[in-house]
Amino acid sequence: MSIADQANNVVATAIPTPHGDVWLLPAKSDDKLRLKPVKQKSTGVSAVLNSFRYAWGEAGVVRGTLPLLQLNQKLGTDCPGCAWPDHDGKRATFDYCENGAKAVAHEADTRKLTADFFRSHSVSELSTHTDYWLEQQGRLTEPMVLRENATHYEPITWADAYAMIADELNGLSSPDRAAFYTSGKATNEAAFSYQLFARQFGTNNLPDCSNMCHESSGRAMSKMIGIGKGTAKLDDFEQANLVLVVGQNPGTNHPRQLIALQQAKRNGAKIIAVNPLPEAGLMGFMNPQEALGMLGVATELTDLFLQVKINGDIPLFKGIMKQMIEWEDAEPGSVIDWGFVNEYAAGLDELLDDLRSADWDTLVIRSGIDRESMRQAADWIRSSEKIILCWCLGVTQHTNGTQNVCEMLNLLLLRGAIGKPGAGPCCVRGHSNVQGDRTMGVWEQPKESLLDRLQSVFDFDPPRKHGFDSQRTALALHRGEIDVFVSLGGNFLMALPDTRYAAEGLAKTRLNVRIGTKLNRADLVAGRQSLILPCLGRTEEDVREASNGRPPRKQFTSTENSMGVVQSSQGKLTPASPNLRNEVAIVCEMAAATLGDRAKNPWRAWANDYDLIRDGIAAVIDGCENYNEKVRQPGGFYLPNAARERQFNTDTGKANFTVNPIPPDTIQPGQFAMTTVRSHDQFNTTIYGNHDRYRGILNARRVVMMNAADMREKGLQSRDPVAVTSHHAGETRTLQDFQVVEYPIPRGCVAMYYPEANPLIPMTSTDASSNCPSFKHTAVTIERC
């Protein structure tokens, strides 16, 4: 199928670029879909064996197991997988999970991408392969450039690459014609240097992956509790009476969280899961670090599974709270924690009015949850003193994502479940350092206090105008207003909604620069010129030249986990190539080349001695005083969190209740609500394999999970080929050649994999407050093809 052959109104899967046609999704899949029963429990022996198979297969036995033994140990390597915290006390030797092991093995890959590889494959040809294939080709080993009108990447020296970046940046008519994207793996030292560089250069265009992830959580928590971070700590799970897990698939995306849930459960806690899908890890869990788990004996985790409809969370939580208020009204003082509310909270009356006036039938119909189940949840909540609320993307990536989080926080506040042991919001972050990147100042909407501090410490005038977030960067790219686009890691193209629109924008730049470990599709959609700058992975040793004749020194970096603990991380492996640089050094060298004498800090010295960067962090970031000293302590240190102490730094000085309306029903008759999910074999856009083991969907990713009754009604059977069309604001987008799979999902709802489904998701459907794209709710129709 050529571009010209693609029918009208069908999302073309290739676009023209100055370097040839680039495919965004291979034209046809020849994967042979296999189906197995959906699993009811996760982990156990097979998971551990699988992780070793993966580590050994891709990285070789020694390269594979050595970093695994270092993972999440004090003074070891921070896992490059998710942001779940490590235990403050003693840690198990195998304190990692199957998916952390995959992340490490993928990084420790012994295959290499050399200049020869790029010489024998044009950019256009590379794009005919899947994302899986691209990353499977091995580690990037030397800087590569795609020159004007060239069809192939060719090698370039580091010095020439930095000079090219400096020339392009310094030739811009305004610094705001550049944008600097950050993916959440970047370490604190890289992130701090990067935001400083962007601001010294003159722009706040600092989009990051958080804009597409937990931005809604940050907005909701800032408004209601005065800090954009959760308050629960890992040991709170040991004391909790009740844990809610909402819109999250921990068995796949945060497997070590299951150990905390299991511990809570053993200490008598109940667990309520809210999810349209019965995710294996939530239903049952076999701890691979325990003998019983090794034998295949599972802990039943979830006591109450609320199989909510997609975007049914506000009506569900409203229903639960309405029930609680009915009991409170019948017996005052029996439900609301008045001690907490009177002393620490504001705005309760408006919430009570909203709950009292809500209509039961609407709440039940829109949530898909019956009143009895709501009553059961409400009963456990009223009788639990210590409640932890965990959530992830199932609630944040909606047009009402911020309100989703707000409505859940209302529930915690009613019960005073914050700022005391065993309780609190637990915002489960994604990328291993996404929280740290924000702490370090990677934010397109910086606080004035941060800019003031940067100004006084580094003696320059930071730009005060707010910059573009991820979605607004995509819009600006498409308007042709961004000439230089720099990516610190990540895969901006495939992470965004509407892949075609995103690609058209990226193809309009003068220069794209991506710092990464592996090749991905973002490297193939280039404007006039493009640079790939290969960096060390976190598991690799980083030795930097010292100035003034001292011997070269090993460097380390630092990260912050989901619970605000900052600690050091040092790689031990020999780098995949001697020509790799740590991304910290790359950022500093770019800054040195671009800014020259304009910057007062010695960027070149920073590139070789990260202690100097940490001194900068200590001078600028609250809670990071004496950073060099504190970060060297085994186990690191906790950043301050006022809400944890019941100090709420909001506009009222109190924790604010909020009123959150039931979202309008935008799904028309004949349409389905489509959500996107990760399979068990991927890390975001990096696909490790084509199996989604727990969901029993093997060997294919172009699938649509659908309810059996809906399939019957449409005369569809599992494996039937379908076309999926999305509908938004009068526009349609279609993907061909997907297969339908019968799945236990509520009626009227379907699920597809990210990133294959992203071409369907409209760019302009975002949360009103956080501007996070609504990746979890798109109206679609499905037809046999």
Ligand X SMILES: Nc1nc2c(c(=O)[nH]1)N[C@H]1C(S)=C(S)[C@@H](COP(=O)(O)OP(=O)(O)OC[C@H]3O[C@@H](n4cnc5c(=O)[nH]c(N)nc54)[C@H](O)[C@@H]3O)O[C@H]1N2
Helix, strand or coil for residue 603? helix
Which residue, 217 or 239, is less far from ligand X as judged by CB?
Answer: 217
Q: Closest CB to ligand X among 239 and 403?
A: 403
14 forms part of the interface with ligand X (CB under 6 A): no
Determine the Cα–Cα distance for residues 59 and 540; give it in Å rounded to an integer: 13
d(CA 518, CA 330): 61
The residue (of 213 and 513) whose beta carbon lies closer to Mo ion is 213
Cα(654)–Cα(475) distance, rounded to whole angstroms? 37
Q: Is residue 685 involved in binding ligand X (CB under 6 A)?
A: yes
Q: What angle do CA 560, 288, 290 make, to 5 degrees?
A: 105
Verify binding: residue 430, Mo ion, rule CB under 5 A: yes
Q: Is beta strand 304-306 parallel, antiparallel or unpaired with respect to 270-274? A: parallel
Q: Using CB under 6 A, which of the segments 333-341, 514-522, 656-664, 718-726 binds ligand X?
A: 514-522
Residue 583 in contact with ligand X, rule: CB under 6 A: yes
Question: Measured at CB, which residue is nearest to Mo ion?
Answer: 430
Least separation, in Å, of the C-beta of 210 and Mo ion? 7
Among 79, 166, 190, 213, binds Mo ion (CB under 5 A): 213
Contacts with 571 (C-beta within 8 Å, 6 or more apart), sequence order = 67, 77, 536, 537, 538, 539, 540, 541, 542
Q: How far is residue 179's CA from residue 33's CA, in Å, rounded to a whole number?
A: 40
Among 373, 684, 736, 766, the residue binding ligand X under the rule CB under 6 A is 684
Task: Decide whether 423 or 474 has the Cβ nearer to ligand X.
Answer: 474
375-404 positions binding ligand X, by CB under 6 A? 392-395, 397
The verdict on 758 binding ligand X (CB under 6 A) reads: yes
* By the rule CB under 6 A, 251 interacts with ligand X: no
Rule CB under 6 A: which of 284-323 touch ligand X? 308, 310-311, 313
775 binds ligand X (CB under 6 A): yes
Tallying the residues shown for the chain, one arrives at 785
Interface with Mo ion, residue 755, by CB under 5 A: no
Q: How far is the CB of 646 from ligand X (least distance, A)?
A: 28
Quick note: the x/- pattern for ligand X over 456-495, rule CB under 6 A, is --------------------------------xxxxx--x
| Cβ burial, residue 431 (10 Å; 0-12/13-18/19+) | buried
Name the minimum Å distance from CB 141 to ligand X. 13
Rule CB under 6 A: say whether 189 interacts with ligand X.
no
We find the least distance from the C-beta atom of residue 313 to ligand X, in angstroms, to be 5
Considering only residues 521-560, where is the footprint of ligand X by CB under 6 A? 535, 537-538
DSSP-derived pairing of the beta strands 749-753 and 42-43: unpaired
The answer to the question of residue 508 lying near ligand X (CB under 6 A) is no
Tally Cβ neighbours within 10 Å of residue 548: 5
According to CB under 6 A, which residues from 131 to 160 bind ligand X?
135
Residue 176 or 583: the one with the smaller Cβ distance to ligand X is 583
For 620, the token pair is: 């600028």
**Binding flag, residue 417, Mo ion (CB under 5 A):** no
Angle in degrees, CA 496, 563, 535, rounded to 5: 50
| Torsional sign, CA 494, 500, 505, 510 | positive
Closer to ligand X by Cβ: residue 355 or 750: 750
Which amino acid type is present at position 427? C
By CB neighbour count within 10 A (0-12 exposed, 13-18 middle, 19+ buried), where does 391 fall?
A: buried
Distance CA 333, CA 372 (A): 23
- CA nearest to 701, candidates 725, 717, 685: 685
Binding segment for ligand X among 361-369, 645-653, 724-732, 755-763 (CB under 6 A)? 755-763
Q: Which residue has the tokens 């008598």?
A: 268
Q: Which amino acid is at 203?
A: T
Backbone angles phi and psi of 499, in degrees to 5? -55, -40
- Applying CB under 5 A, the residues found at the interface with Mo ion are 213, 430
- Applying CB under 6 A, the residues found at the interface with ligand X are 81-82, 99, 135, 183-185, 209, 212-213, 246-249, 252-254, 274-277, 279, 308, 310-311, 313, 392-395, 397, 430-431, 488-492, 495, 515-518, 520, 535, 537-538, 583, 675-678, 682-686, 754-755, 757-758, 761, 775-776
